[in-house]
Structure formats: structure tokens, C-alpha cells
């Protein structure tokens, strides 16, 4: 706990007791945060794994717990950072990271990532759950609560410890500046290839699904993290690295993510129910999009959608009746092709996908079949991409090495996880199967 005396302890699965300060409790008790109780972490995965009914509320508290554990380990393992950051700066950054953990998922729509395609657009700009998280911080009482925490911290530790809700807005939207270089490290801890968000959801999703695929050595992984100083023309920064003693824990973490995508997140039945629900939401939302107004947006959550589903399922004239009935009666369209993840090359996947899409569109309504193409990289370590998310291994003599040069396991998982599945309603299944076989040769 960085400053205020502990006021509240909440017990959650995976980590046990999570402490909250007085200011943090105000955030948790707010309407926007309480709404996360009504947002399931894994959409309709409970149609496959009945225990997967956990919420973004629980996950956000789990990430809060890991924020303190991880931050303190990094500071403890990083003598240069201890010298560069004053005690006031250290307290400030720990508190910012804890609030970042609490607020990072505020903007999720109903059923979490299932709603990602339903956010409104402004001209050419498409909103995301991150931009809505930032707007919720700015436009609700949460912003004022954050300002109060920053002001109280400045009174206790001096002006250097001050921050405002705008600091969190910049972190959530990744709009960082050279004026506050310490935020780069905080952003990496929350959003990188080795972040506390992934650490929590892998363990939590694995527990609630009743599978072992998401398990890894959390304590060893956290205790091996370190901040490395880096200089360039724009200034001096600290970035995340992992000590060599943590390489096996890192490998287990990467493998856990790999297996969870194959066995849970890309599960064939979960994907078809996501398709049903996306179509249902598009049919009942104005213009097929979630509302732009934050006040209206906060009224959309899983419970409201389930109410709408039940209504439409028993009213055949409703536009969303087909999708509602498929969900409420758990009718699963059969999969035409039985290909497993990684069975095609990327080029073969796309050729087959495009040919199928063209042929099926000529013969059937899009409400009769679903052509699902899913793709996800197991990791992006030591690959070229922006936002300073890359993480290196630090040897005992201080040498920085690319993790893919040290770990054969990590190096071997470069190719993305890919699935291409074709589902068809019962009345056209035989015809679709025949077309699919003709195209495949």
C-alpha cells in the first residue's frame, strides 16, 4: 500500500487477500467499476466450460494485487532505478500503477472482447475499450477520486508525488510523453509481452475453466523482473527486462498463453456462440453500434443483454430472434471442416478463405453459415513493432540478449496460432460440406 492506511481487504480467487486504500475503495465502489461485476471475462465461454462465469471486476482486483507485487520486485531488483527515482517518485509511480490496474478495463462492453467490433466511430476514428476506459475516467466520478488520491499523496510526500486523472488517461491510451519518462515503464508493466494483465487472466481463466493449460510459476516470474536504463536522443528511460534466472518461468508463461488460445479462447464452440451473440447485439443496438454517450454506455452490460435475449427468443417477429433462440436453446451449428490450429500456412488459409467466402456468398444467406478465421501470435518478443514493448534478457554480467536467442521454446513459437473453421446451419450443412470439399480439392 503506497500511502493511505489500509481500509478494506477483499478476498478473491487465485491471489487471496487484496488490500485497498480509502481512495481506491472510492473507485471500486463507484458505479462504473461496480458495472464490471456484470461483464463476464470470457464472453460465452461458460457454454463450453460452465465455471467460466468470472467477471472483469474480479480480474481488475487481481491485476491490482499483481501491480504492487510486481512493482516492488522490480524496484528491489533495480539499483539504478532506486538511485534515479526519489522515494516520493517511487511512491507516486506505485500508486499510479495500482490505479492503472483498477481502471484499465472500465471501458469493456457487454461480454468483454465480444463487443470490440461494436464500438462507435467518429469519422475515420474507431473507438476501442481503451478509449472508452479513458473517457470513463474523464467523464465520471472516477476522475475526481483519482485527483484526490494524487493531491493527498503530494501532501504526504511533496509536490513530486503529485499526479492527476490525466496521467491515467495518457497511460490507458498510450499517449506518453518525454515530460514524464517513468510512465514508459509503468505502461510496460501493464501492457507488454510480459505484463500483469496477462499474468492474471491466464491463471484466473485457467482456474475458472477447470483446465491446467494457463498455469505457470508466477512468483518466480515476478521475482525475476528488473528495470534497465536506456538512453537515446530524447532522454533517459527505464524499460522492463527479465533476469536469466527467470527464463524457464518465462517459457512456461509463453506456453501457457499458447495453450489457452488453442484450448479455450479459440475453442470451436465458444467461437460459434460469439458469432451468434455479435449478430444479436448488432440487430438490437441503434445502427448496430454501442452508444457514444458514456452515461448510456454504462447501462449496457451482460444482464441487460440476457434480458433482451430472453425477450427475443420467444418473439419470432424480433429482428434478433434467430440468434437469441440459438443461444438460449444452446443450438450449436456443426463444423464442416475439421482442420486443427496451425494446419494451413497463412497463404493457404487466405486462399481457401477467399474462395469459400465467394462461393458461399453466391448460394446462401450470411445467416445460414459462419466462416471463422482467427489468428493470434503466441508472443511478439524480439520482433519488430512499435510502442517500446520489447523485453530483453539480462545476463548475470549485465549483458542484454534477445530472448529468442536464449530460449529455443520461445524462438520456435514465432508462427501465429491460426484457425479456419466453417460452420453451417442444419438445413444447408450437406450442401456447404460439398462446396467446401470441392474447393479443397
Write down the pLDDT at residue 6.
62
Beta strand 125-126 pairing with 225-232: unpaired
User: CA–CA separation, 188 vs 174, rounded Å?
Assistant: 10
- pLDDT the model gives residue 381: 84
**Structure confidence at residue 124 (pLDDT):** 81
pLDDT band per the 50, 70, 90 thresholds, residue 269: very high
- Per-residue confidence (pLDDT) for residue 148, from 0 to 100: 98
Q: Is the pLDDT of residue 237 over 70?
A: yes
- The domain limits of the chain are 6-266+384-411, 269-376+418-440
State mean pLDDT over 36-46: 98
Q: What is the pLDDT of residues 50-104, one digit of tens each?
A: 999 999 999 999 999 999 999 999 999 999 999 999 999 999 999 999 999 999 9
pLDDT at 441 over 70: no
Annotation says 129 is catalytic: yes
Model confidence pLDDT, tens digit, residues 343-365: 455 677 678 788 888 999 999 99
Residues 376-434 have pLDDT tens digits of 888 888 764 444 457 899 999 999 999 989 999 999 988 888 888 999 999 999 999 99
Which cell goes with 49? 466450460
Residue 131 parent element (H or E): helix 129-139
- C-alpha angle 47/53/55, rounded to 5°? 140
Q: Point out the catalytic residue in the list 15, 59, 108, 129.
A: 129
> What is the reported pLDDT for 346?
63
- Domain 269-376+418-440 fold is Growth Hormone; Chain: A; (1.20.1250)
Compute φ and ψ for 362, nearest 5 degrees: -75, -25
The predicted model gives 202-212 an average pLDDT of 98
Q: Report pLDDT for 55.
A: 98
pLDDT of residue 387: 44
Q: What pairs with residue 421 in β-bridges?
A: 372
SS3 of residue 122 by DSSP = strand
Contact 104, 60 (CB under 8 A): yes
Q: What angle do CA 335, 339, 344 make, to 5 degrees?
A: 135
pLDDT in tens, 141-188: 999 999 999 999 999 999 999 999 999 999 999 999 888 999 999 999
Tell me the H-state helices in 17-55: 22-28, 31-34
**Least-confidence region, from 5-9, 119-123, 239-243, 343-347:** 343-347
Give residue-wise pLDDT tens across range 115-132: 999 999 988 889 999 999
**3-state class (DSSP) for residue 323:** helix
Cα distances (angstroms) measured from residue 111 to each of 44, 55, 252, 278:
7, 9, 28, 10
1 falls in which pLDDT band (50, 70, 90)? low
pTM comes to: 0.94
Contacts of 44 (CB under 8 A, 6+ apart): 111, 114, 270, 273, 274, 277, 327
Q: Which CATH architecture has domain 6-266+384-411?
A: Orthogonal Bundle (1.10)
What pLDDT does 59 receive? 98
Distances (CA, A) of 397 to 220, 231, 238, 249, 394: 20, 19, 18, 20, 8
User: Distance (Å, rounded) from C-alpha 343 to C-alpha 346?
Assistant: 10
Lowest mean pLDDT, pick from 242-256, 276-290, 378-392 = 378-392
pLDDT at 389 (0 to 100): 52
Are 351 and 336 within 8 A, CB to CB?
A: no
- Chain mean pLDDT for the chain: 92
Sort 252 into a burial class: Cβ within 10 Å, 0-12 / 13-18 / 19+.
middle
**What is Dmax (Cα atoms) for the chain?**
73
pLDDT at 305 over 80: yes
Amino acid at each position: 500500500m503506497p500511502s493511505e492506511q489500509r481500509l478494506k481487504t477483499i478476498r478473491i480467487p487465485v491471489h487471496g487477500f487484496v488490500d485497498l486504500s480509502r481512495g481506491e475503495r472510492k473507485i471500486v465502489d463507484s458505479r462504473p467499476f461496480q458495472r464490471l461485476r456484470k461483464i463476464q471475462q470470457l464472453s460465452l465461454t461458460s457454454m463450453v466450460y460452465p465455471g467460466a462465469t468470472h467477471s472483469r471486476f474480479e480480474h481488475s482486483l487481481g491485476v491490482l494485487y499483481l501491480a504492487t507485487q510486481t512493482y516492488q520486485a522490480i524496484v528491489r531488483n533495480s539499483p539504478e532505478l532506486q538511485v534515479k527515482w526519489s522515494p516520493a517518485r517511487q511512491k507516486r509511480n506505485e500508486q499510479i500503477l495500482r490505479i492503472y490496474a483498477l481502471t484499465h478495463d472500465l471501458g469493456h462492453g457487454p461480454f468483454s472482447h465480444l463487443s470490440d467490433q461494436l464500438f462507435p466511430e467518429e469519422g475515420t476514428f474507431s473507438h476501442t475499450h481503451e478509449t472508452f476506459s479513458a473517457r470513463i475516467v474523464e467523464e465520471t466520478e472516477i476522475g475526481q477520486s483519482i485527483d484526490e488520491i494524487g493531491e493527498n499523496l503530494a501532501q504526504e510526500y511533496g509536490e513530486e508525488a503529485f499526479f492527476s486523472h490525466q496521467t491515467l488517461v495518457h497511460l490507458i491510451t498510450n499517449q506518453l510523453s518525454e515530460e514524464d519518462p517513468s510512465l514508459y515503464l509503468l505502461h510496460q508493466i501493464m501492457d507488454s509481452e510480459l505484463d500483469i494483465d496477462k499474468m492474471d487472466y491466464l491463471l484466473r481463466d485457467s482456474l475458472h475453466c477447470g483446465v491446467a493449460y494457463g498455469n505457470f510459476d508466477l512468483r518466480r516470474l515476478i521475482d525475476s523482473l528488473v528495470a534497465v536504463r536506456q538512453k537515446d536522443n530524447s532522454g533517459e528511460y527505464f524499460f522492463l527486462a527479465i533476469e536469466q534466472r527467470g527464463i524457464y518461468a518465462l517459457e512456461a508463461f509463453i506456453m501457457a498463453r499458447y495453450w489457452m488460445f488453442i484450448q479455450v479462447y479459440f475453442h470451436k464452440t465458444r467461437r460459434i456462440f460469439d458469432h451468434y451473440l455479435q449478430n444479436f447485439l448488432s440487430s438490437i443496438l441503434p445502427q448496430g453500434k454501442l452508444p457514444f454517450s458514456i452515461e448510456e454506455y454504462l447501462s449496457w452490460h451482460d444482464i441487460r443483454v440476457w434480458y433482451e435475449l430472453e425477450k427475443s427468443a420467444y418473439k419470432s417477429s424480433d429482428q434478433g430472434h434467430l440468434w437469441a433462440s440459438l443461444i438460449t436453446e444452446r443450438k450449436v451449428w456443426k463444423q464442416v471442416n475439421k482442420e486443427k490450429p496451425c494446419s494451413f500456412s497463412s497463404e493457404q488459409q487466405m486462399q481457401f478463405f477467399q474462395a469459400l467466402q465467394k462461393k458461399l456468398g453466391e448460394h446462401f444467406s450470411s445467416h445460414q453459415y459462419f466462416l471463422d478465421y482467427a489468428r493470434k501470435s503466441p508472443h511478439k518478443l524480439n520482433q519488430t513493432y512499435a510502442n517500446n514493448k520489447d523485453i530483453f534478457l539480462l545476463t548475470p554480467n549485465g549483458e542484454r540478449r534477445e530472448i529468442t536467442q536464449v530460449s529455443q521454446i520461445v524462438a520456435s513459437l514465432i508462427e501465429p496460432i491460426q484457425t479456419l473453421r466453417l460452420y453451417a446451419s442444419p438445413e444447408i450443412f450437406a450442401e456447404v460440406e460439398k462446396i467446401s470439399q470441392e474447393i479443397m480439392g
